[in-house]
A and B are shown apart, each in its own frame.
Chain A
Amino acid sequence: MTVLPLPTRRQEDWRYSDVEAVAGVWPLPDPVAIHVGAGEQAAHRLLQDAADGAVAIHDYAIHVEAGGRCTFHLLNIGGKLGRVTFRVTLGKGAHFGLYGAMIGGGEQTLEIVTSVTHAEPDGTSEQIVRSILGQKAVGTYLGRIEVARDAQKTDAVQSIKAMLLDRTATANAKPELEIYADDVKCAHGCAVGELDRQALFYMASRGMEPQAARSLLLQAFVAGVFDDIGDEAERERFDTAALAKLEALAGQGSGA
């Protein structure tokens, strides 16, 4: 068995990663394969909350056959490196939806790397990622969409937003389109911002303590990402974990 050489930052997929941290877990196991048959529906999710200092890398290879639908909810908050990658291939009329949130502080590196191939016509994909980064955390979204020559009527959407709580935090967002068909819709939006100072003052003027105001605005920023998780207990688990991480982050005096 041949072992791949360690990745370097020269490779696009690893450009913003913590490659030193990867060395300790190299070589990586094969990606987790998810196969969604024709006309089937699948809902997957991952709550990545590895311990402080851990290296957590999760790779998925997802294939959705004609008319199938696959949704994936992801909360990426743990470890010194938390990296989740998706290599997705969509058949005719197939759908893939990724709803993700990354919340990081300290010196965490959190990444979502996707490569979605619309191999056949009429496929749809939607990726919504919200990141909140404080202190020296780095959050990266790299999202490649490839539309094959025959994949007409493809509809692909990427909405990526990041919120920086400190000047020392970093957000990278890079949607990348490679389109070989001529009748497709590919929309992408990226925004990196800070907490709205006007809103913070408005909330303070009503008596809200600065930390509570920040925490509420941050909750609002990621609100909705996990709304579609069908299993109520699971939805609650994701929301609770996100909230706990946010409160830990807001409590560390970020922002203002």
Chain B
Amino acid sequence: MSLLRIENLTNTVADKPILKGLSLTLNAGEIHAIMGPNGAGKSTLAYTLGGRPGYEVTGGSVEFDGQDLFDMEPHERAAAGLFLGFQYPVEIPGVSNLQFLRESLNSQRKARGLDPLSGGEFIKLAKEKAGLLGLDMEMLKRPVNVGFSGGEKKRNEMVQMGILDPKLAILDETDSGLDIDALRVVGEGINAIMRKPDKAVLLITHYQRLLDYVKPDFVHVLAGGRIVKSGGADLALELEREGYAEVLA
């Protein structure tokens, strides 16, 4: 069944049209990659689905797991199982990662009618997921993303994803700022956490290299605010070899 169904989505950012009739369907168990040139609207798509203020939906519809996505506030979307991996994770001085995550997870659990995790249960979960991504537990005691390197921020995003255990992850250039080793760890993390029959991933990326580790079932090219070409994993290789201009010509 479809987990995410985007139909003819249009939007504006600061009154400027960015998405111009984008349609895309993700079924449970699938990993989709969206590639495209700079300025095509890739990050705008991610932020619009996440509900970032300033990303004005002007038309079309998005159904997430049977619900109207735009009927939900950003925190309600998260509680419904949507995870947005940020291209530039935000620093929050004075708030520790553990506090941030525990508060987030328990908010989500509350929204789903579940009891909050105790301190001990939460630490155990955090340790397990941090270990999976090779992030030191000490880092999780520090303020959210403050003083983290680019690579550490991206690993931290994946640790968060592991702890929150979403149905759908939209990962906006999670590969940027990663060296080869970190890329492999993050790729394996995505597979371990999200490669499941009831989950789906939308990977937004410029480059093919992450796709060596996270093999997509479908690859889409986003240009000028809509999907202009779709194919299998081979399409990413073709784009890498020949460039967007050539493939889109």
**Residues of A near any B CB (own CB < 8 A):** 196-199, 201-210, 212-213, 216-217, 219-221, 223-224
Contacts and interface: CB of A to CB of B under 8 A. Distances in A.
29 contacts: A196-B90, A196-B92, A199-B90, A201-B53, A201-B74, A202-B86, A202-B89, A202-B92, A204-B51, A204-B74, A204-B78, A205-B51, A205-B78, A205-B83, A206-B75, A206-B100, A206-B101, A206-B104, A206-B160, A206-B164, A207-B111, A208-B104, A212-B107, A216-B95, A217-B92, A217-B95, A219-B94, A220-B93, A221-B94
Given A203-B92, A205-B51, A207-B105, 8 more contacts: A202-B89, A202-B92, A204-B51, A205-B75, A205-B86, A206-B164, A208-B103, A208-B107
A203 B50 CA distance: 12
Interface residues of B, number: 32
B229 interface: no
Contacts of A204: 51, 73-75, 78
Interface in B41-92: 50-53, 73-75, 77-79, 83-84, 86, 89-92
B108 interface: yes
A191 to B, nearest CB: 13
A-B residue pairs, 9 tightest by C-beta: A220-B94, A207-B78, A206-B104, A207-B108, A204-B74, A202-B90, A204-B75, A207-B104, A207-B107
B75 A220 contact: no
Q: Is the interface of A mostly helix, strand, loop or mixed?
A: helix
Contacts of A197: 53
Contacts of B105: 207
Contacts of A224: 94
Contacts of A209: 75, 107
Interface of B: 50-53, 73-75, 77-79, 83-84, 86, 89-95, 99-101, 103-105, 107-108, 111, 143, 160, 164
Contacts of B111: 207
Nearest to A204: B74
A208 B110 CA distance: 10
A207 B86 contact: no
A7 B105 CA distance: 53
Contacts of A208: 75, 103-104, 107
Contacts of A196: 90, 92
A206 B95 CA distance: 14
Contacts of B99: 216
Nearest to B76: A207
A159 B95 CA distance: 20
A115 B103 CA distance: 42
Contacts of B100: 203, 206, 216
Contacts of A199: 90-92
Nearest to A221: B94
Nearest to B143: A220
A210 B94 contact: no
Given A205-B50, A205-B84, A216-B100, A210 B93 contact: no
A217 to B, nearest CB: 7
Contacts of B160: 206
